[in-house]
Amino acid sequence: MADVHSAEIRTKNMRAIGTRDTAIENRLAELLADQGFSFAVQDKTLAGRPDFVLSQYQAIIFAHGCFWHHHHCHLFKVPATRTQFWMEKIGRNVERDRRDIQQLTDEGWKVMVVWECALRGKTRLEQGALQSRLEEWLCAGSGNAEIDALGIHQM
């Protein structure tokens, strides 16, 4: 299927996609603040420029979009046009994520990835369930984990 937009329009649209203050980041920030957690955002001094840094807990939280970071859920769809280009680009994102998480772990941080499907869409977790999983991991959890629409998993 051919793209419905010209190359110029598609480029303009793609450049407009933000890397900060996305809807899922804003929702996660609201959940953390409602629970009384103190955090910094987008710390440039740490690998991967984490979305949330909770220094008191030596914890990092990334809010990952299911498409951009290739999560195996209903929100990820293989692009119909320029498939090779997009899969290579997304593959580089995934490799960078692995490298950043390993570096943060080596530096003594515990890392949580919260996937977009846990926050939005038909399979999203209820707010209370998501909040309790975050709090449990921050306060008692050890090691790296991820939360998606199915729940919390060790990484």
Give the integer Cα–Cα distance in Å for 127 and 18.
24
C-alpha 86 chain-centroid distance: 18
Name all domains of the chain by residue range, CATH numbers in brackets.
21-154 (3.40.960.10)
For residue 81, what pLDDT is reported?
A: 87
12 CB-near residues (< 8 Å, 6+ apart): none
What's the pTM value of the predicted model, to 2 decimals?
Answer: 0.85
Q: What angle do CA 143, 60, 72 make, to 5 degrees?
A: 75
- Give the pLDDT of residue 155: 87
pLDDT value for 135: 92
User: Can you give the pLDDT at residue 3?
Assistant: 60
- Residue-wise pLDDT tens for the chain (155 aa)? 456 656 676 455 555 555 556 888 999 999 999 999 999 999 999 999 999 999 999 999 999 999 999 999 999 999 888 899 999 999 999 999 999 999 999 999 999 999 999 998 888 999 999 999 999 999 987 799 999 999 889 98
Closest by CA to 61, choosing from 93, 86, 95, 27, is 27
